[in-house]
Amino acid sequence: MTRRERLQVFSGNASHDLASKICEHLGISLGNLELQRFPDGEIDLKVKDDVRGSDIFVIQSTCPPVNENLMELLILIDCFKRASAEQITAVIPYFGYARQDRKSEGRVPITAKLVANLITKAGADRVLTIDLHATQIQGFFDITVDHLFANPVLIDYFQQLKIPNLVVVSPDVGGVKVVRAYAKKLSAPLAIVDKRRSGPRETEAVHIIGDIKGKNIIIVDDMISTGGTIAQAARALQARGARDIYVCATHPVLCGDAVEKLEKAPIKEMVVTDTIPFNHKNNKKFIKVLSISKLLSEAIRRIHNSESVSSLFT
Ligand code: R5P
């Protein structure tokens, strides 16, 4: 085997379990490295495997603690670059800092662009990610971005539930395009919650567009952070006569008391993926976690073999 043909997968601390599952699917061992902290908190990394000339995939979600995980990712990329890897793909199942993707008012940063610059400058040759908060963030990178959708995994689960009288709901107007794909595949009509954001942590569900009375509902969102958007949407839907309410989201950021907040809302089941590790004490009762490891491993295999990635979704 020539070195460029050698595929190696490494993980930062944010994505260890997911990376191990990906390696199982690929039939390889997870790369060996030591990732610790110096006494002052700085990151102390030593890669134990030879990576010269290899095709490296480094898996790290930039989920909370966001700054720690982002810095780990940058240091990992820098390390592989300096160790003469042939190609480095930053596999970022959850891409954090994505919400500030434009100057929506004066004197605010565009953090999504800043993070794209940092990853590129550190030495990544490609990025592989899932359900970006805004798909145009792909264009913030001047390197190749392969953007995957978690919907095959999530839709498959709901198809098996065979929920009757179903309506798929977007919890805000911005999510309609994504939610339409779910509605189409589940052969269900679409409704929209007209959400107003009154601050970074507060939202208000105002109106519902569409017929939801007496219907079973799946609310679809890309991520759940404080849980405010989903909890309010579920309450508004119930108040207007919806029956069973399911929630489906790719990225379980679930910060602070989000899980407790969602448990108090009229939600029958919440389904998320493992782009972000989730080990809440109540997760068995209420939250189902589906793995996107098979999808990611197949994308990695195809990138390594220069095969089509988009055909995974046709
Ligand atoms: C908004 O544009 C997103 O799609 C999510 O609805 C939002 O980020 C969720 O945030 P939270 O859970 O804090 O309401």
> Which tokens is 175 given?
């999510």
Judge contact between 234 and 247, C-beta under 8 A. yes
- Report which ligand 1 atom has the smallest distance to the Cα of 228: 14
pLDDT of 228: 93
Question: CA-CA distances (angstroms) from residue 52 to 2, 8, 66, 76, 155?
Answer: 11, 11, 29, 14, 40
- Report which ligand 1 atom has the smallest distance to the Cα of 253: 12
H or E element: which one contains 196? strand 190-197
Closest-CA residue, ligand 1 atom 10, reads 225
Burial level of 89, CB count in 10 A (0-12/13-18/19+)?
buried
The conformation of residue 282, written as its DSSP 8-state character, comes to T
H or E element: which one contains 159? helix 151-161
The conformation of residue 30, written as its DSSP 8-state character, comes to P
The Å distance, Cα 172 to ligand 1 centre, comes to 9
The single-letter code of the amino acid at 163 is I
Candidate of 178, 229, 250, 255 to mutate for ligand 1, largest count of ligand atoms within 8 Å of Cβ = 229
Output the pTM of the full model.
0.95
In terms of DSSP bridges, do strands 190-197 and 203-209 run parallel, antiparallel, or are they unpaired? antiparallel
The Å distance, Cα 229 to ligand 1 centre, comes to 6
Whether 177 is catalytic: no
> Which tokens is 22 given?
């990906």
> Which tokens is 79 given?
């390390």
The Å distance, Cα 224 to ligand 1 centre, comes to 6
Judge contact between 231 and 262, C-beta under 8 A. yes
Candidate of 104, 221, 251 to mutate for ligand 1, largest count of ligand atoms within 8 Å of Cβ = 221
pLDDT at 3 over 60: no
The conformation of residue 15, written as its DSSP 8-state character, comes to G
The Å distance, Cα 39 to ligand 1 centre, comes to 36
SS3 of residue 217 by DSSP: strand
> Which tokens is 51 given?
């990576």
What are the pLDDT digits (tens) for 233-250?
Answer: 999 999 999 999 999 999
Closest-CA residue, ligand 1 atom 9, reads 224
- Find the mean pLDDT for residues 132-153: 97
- Report which ligand 1 atom has the smallest distance to the Cα of 222: 4
> Which tokens is 236 given?
């508004």
Q: Give CA–CA dist 295/198, Å, rounded.
A: 36
Ligand 1: residues whose CB is within 6 Å?
171-172, 174-175, 203, 221-229
SS3 of residue 248 by DSSP: strand
Q: Give the confidence band of 97 by pLDDT, cuts at 50, 70, 90.
A: very high
How many other C-beta atoms can be found within 10 angstroms of the C-beta atom of residue 164? 9
- Report which ligand 1 atom has the smallest distance to the Cα of 225: 12
Closest-CA residue, ligand 1 atom 5, reads 223
Judge contact between 251 and 223, C-beta under 8 A. yes
What's the mean per-residue pLDDT of the chain?
Answer: 94
Question: CA-CA distances (angstroms) from residue 57 to 34, 128, 236?
Answer: 16, 9, 43
The Å distance, Cα 251 to ligand 1 centre, comes to 10
Closest among 198, 6, 224, 230 to 94, alpha carbons compared: 224
- Find the mean pLDDT for residues 291-302: 98
Candidate of 223, 260, 262 to mutate for ligand 1, largest count of ligand atoms within 8 Å of Cβ = 223
- Find the mean pLDDT for residues 281-291: 78
256 backbone dihedrals φ, ψ, rounded to 5°: 60, -130
Catalytic residue among 46, 195, 264, 285: 195
What are the pLDDT digits (tens) for 188-230?
Answer: 999 999 977 666 666 676 799 999 999 999 999 999 999 999 9
Judge contact between 56 and 90, C-beta under 8 A. no
Judge contact between 229 and 203, C-beta under 8 A. yes
What are the pLDDT digits (tens) for 68-88?
Answer: 999 999 999 999 999 999 999
The Å distance, Cα 194 to ligand 1 centre, comes to 13
